[in-house]
């Protein structure tokens, strides 16, 4: 009698474990994606010397934010400056790309993590 109850208990545990593994596998093995879409025709008269990008992260399939073309065209860096109270770190934003060759949207996903980026290529 005890063996019959143990067998039922093991069978139900195996079914629950199988279902959990199936759900976990579906969520975690969503596949890999690397898609690039050009959203304007390429202007071949402008050399492709510089590339900038602005990305929005995707975590567990959820993402929020704005990938901005203007932010992708600007180069941002920090520099040390002398101030009244000593050294100060300030952020400098300069136009990096002034003439656009092409703009593309790139989506990269591995399992449930990735990013969606706006790439600007130009001079």
Q: What pLDDT does 9 receive?
A: 59
Spatial separation of the C-alpha atoms in residues 73 and 1, rounded to whole Å = 75
Within 8 A by CB and 6+ apart from 114, the residues are 33, 57, 58, 107, 108
As a whole number, mean pLDDT of residues 8-31 equals 76
Q: What pLDDT does 56 receive?
A: 94
Q: Is the pLDDT of residue 45 over 90?
A: yes
List pLDDT tens digits, range 67-105.
888 888 887 766 676 766 667 777 766 678 889 999 999
Q: The pTM is what?
A: 0.63
As a whole number, mean pLDDT of residues 41-53 equals 90
Of residues 49 and 116, more confidence is placed in: 116
Q: What pLDDT does 43 receive?
A: 92
Put residue 15 in one of left, alpha, beta given phi > 0 → left and psi -120 to 50 → alpha: alpha
Q: What is the mean pLDDT of the chain?
A: 81
Using DSSP's 3-state secondary structure scheme, residue 36 falls into: strand
Spatial separation of the C-alpha atoms in residues 104 and 118, rounded to whole Å = 6
As a whole number, mean pLDDT of residues 2-18 equals 69
Q: What pLDDT does 57 receive?
A: 94
As a whole number, mean pLDDT of residues 20-38 equals 80
């Amino acid at each position: 009698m005890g063996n019959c109850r143990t067998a039922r208990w093991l069978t139900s545990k195996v079914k629950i474990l199988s279902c959990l593994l199936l759900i976990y596998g579906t969520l975690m093995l969503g596949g890999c994606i690397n898609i690039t879409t050009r959203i304007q025709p390429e202007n071949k008269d402008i050399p492709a010397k510089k590339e900038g990008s602005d990305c929005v992260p995707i975590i567990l399939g959820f993402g929020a934010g704005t990938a901005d073309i203007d932010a992708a065209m600007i180069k941002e860096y920090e520099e040390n400056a002398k101030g009244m109270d000593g050294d100060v770190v300030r952020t400098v934003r300069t136009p990096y790309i002034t003439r656009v060759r092409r703009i593309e949207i790139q989506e990269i996903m591995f399992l449930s993590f990735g990013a969606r980026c706006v790439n600007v290529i130009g001079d």
